[in-house]
Structure formats: structure tokens, C-alpha cells
Amino acid sequence: MTQPNLLLGVNIDHVVTLRQARYRTMLDSPFAEPSVLTAALESEAAGAHSITVHLRADRRHIQDADVSLLRQQIATKLNLEMGNTREILEIALAVRPDFVCMVPENRQEVTTEGGLDVSGQRDALRTTVKALGDNGTRVSMFIDPDLDQVRASAEIGAAMIELHTGTFANHSGDARKAEVERLCAAAELGHALGLQINAGHGLTTKNLPDLWPVPHLAELNIGHHIVSRAVFIGLQAAVREMLAVMTTYRD
């Protein structure tokens, strides 16, 4: 079987948001639903190449036990999004996910908004990247398409960058075209520096074709749109729908 041109990581955080809405104080209940593991397995059955979860400091959705369960049970790769804190780093070192994506974290936000300031946190992030890398985990930086942030990511030893596509997703017309140009420049530089180029945030089946001018894309991490579509057509169908659009990408 040939390797797909572009891989899909399915973020299942918002499946767990639904569980937390009713069972936040009863997570041990045998009736707690929906199941994080079922969401992951359904995504894998539909062709997802990895499962992404964000273990936040305030545990608003994904819990420590969820991460451990996924590590033990899924057949694909586990991508753990995390802020750069000692507590979450220790969990990541114990769980040993295949990938870690370092993200900014704001307790007031509903979802991650904006990229990480790698340039301004070089020393702290370099230490974390080394600890994770020595433990067998490849590390990505979730950054805006800013060339200084791309360079800083390479300098601290990251293996990958995930380009923040929120600005792209939230604009149209000339503003979107301008953001695509920024994404192209960041991808070109990152590739030249030896980084794997991933992307994510706000991506949908409708806006993906506008992203296709961006070169060197290896993996997209998509959650909200897939979970939203799953409400109406089911999770497996929503994943397959996204994968079908992704086959049209040509680097």
C-alpha cells in the first residue's frame, strides 16, 4: 500500500467536551459517555493516521486517564498537545506519546488561539524538546506562519512545526490569499531547515482547497469540523469525508 500524500490526525477533544458537560464529576460512572476510546477507534477505522488530544492544565476535557487509555489501546499514533509546564511534561514522559505538539495555553480560551512564541521562550522550550526527544517522542511547535518562529523552532531542536491556520480559516478573499502567502513562506523555510511541516486549526472540507498552494505539508490535525460533521453524519463518515478532500493535495 502506498503512503498517502497527506496524513490526518483527528483531534477528539470536543468529543470529550460533550462527556464533561454531564459527567465531569462522575468520570468513573459506567454510564459516562461519549467514550474517548470509541471516538479514537472509530476515527482509526475510518482511516485516521493519528489521534490528537490536548491535556490542558485545567483538565477541561481530556483527563490523565484518557491519555493513558489511548496510549494503551489505539493502533495508530498518539499526538499529545501540551503547554510547557513541569506537571504535563512529567505525564508526557511517563506516557511516551509518539508525538508532542507544544502549544500556548490560556485558561480563558475555548480552544487554542494563535501560535506559540518559540522565539521568546527558547531556553525553556529547548529543555523540554530535549527531554521528550531523549524519551523517544518527536516534538512539534504550534506556531503562526512567522519566519522568526520557524527559525527558532529549528534552533531549539524541534522535529516538526504545525502551522497555525486559524487566521487563514477566519478570513476570505484577499486576506486569505495574503495568509496563504505567509503560510507558503513559512513552509518553504521550515522544509529548508529540515522540519516536517504540519498544519491545523479551523480547517474544513470547504476551505482546504484554498490551503493547497502551501508546499511540503505532511500532516493536518483537525478536530472541531470533524466532530461537528459527526453530529449529523457519524464520526467514521466525517473522517472519510475529510480524507477524500485531502487526497486532492499535491505537493
Catalytic sites, residue numbers: 54, 81, 201
Give the separation between CA 44 and CA 10, rounded to whole angstroms: 9
Contacts of 173 (CB under 8 A, 6+ apart): none
β 77-82/50-54 pair status? parallel
Contacts of 8 (CB under 8 A, 6+ apart): 47, 48, 49, 50, 219, 220, 222, 239, 242, 243, 246
C-alpha cell of 195?
Answer: 522540519
Number of H-type helices and E-type strands within the chain: 11, 8
| Listed residue (89, 150, 139, 92) closest to 117, CA to CA | 150
